[in-house]
């Protein structure tokens, strides 16, 4: 009898939670989906305005920015090694 009561209680709680989530949180899902769709539409509109040369320039700028960020991270790691005076074993020769 105790196990049956627990199972019934779980079913009741599960139904209550599902109803609560459905009533209160579906709006958040809609907002996010709507924002994502809106952003995708705006990006698509902007892409249609660029010619192939502009697109190539944008890709090159993005690649350079990414490489620059990688170099900045590497430089910061080297500065940290220098500050701590603990160089990686690959630096020893």
Going along 1-93, which residue ranges are E strands? Answer: none
| Cα(31)–Cα(18) distance, integer angstroms | 19
Instruction: Answer whether residue 92 shows pLDDT above 60.
Output: no
Do the Cβ atoms of 47 and 54 come closer than 8 Å? no
Q: Is the pTM of this model over 0.85?
A: no
Residue with tokens 């074993």, as numbered in its chain:
89
| Cα(63)–Cα(53) distance, integer angstroms | 15
Taking only the tens place, the pLDDT of each residue in 33-87 is: 566 677 667 767 766 766 777 777 777 888 888 888 888 888 888 888 778 877 7
Those residues whose C-beta lies under 8 Å from the C-beta of residue 91, and which sit 6 or more positions away, are 81
Q: DSSP string covering 32-51, please?
A: HHHHHHHHHHHHHHHHHHS-
């Amino acid at each position: 009898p105790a196990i049956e009561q627990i199972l019934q209680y779980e079913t009741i709680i599960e139904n209550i939670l599902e109803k609560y989530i459905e009533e209160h949180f579906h709006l958040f899902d809609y907002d996010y989906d709507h924002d994502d769709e809106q952003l995708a539409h705006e990006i698509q509109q902007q892409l249609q305005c660029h010619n192939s040369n502009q697109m190539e320039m944008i890709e090159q700028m993005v690649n350079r920015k990414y490489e620059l960020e990688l170099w900045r991270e590497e430089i910061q790691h080297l500065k940290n090694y220098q500050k701590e005076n603990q160089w990686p074993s690959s630096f020893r020769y």
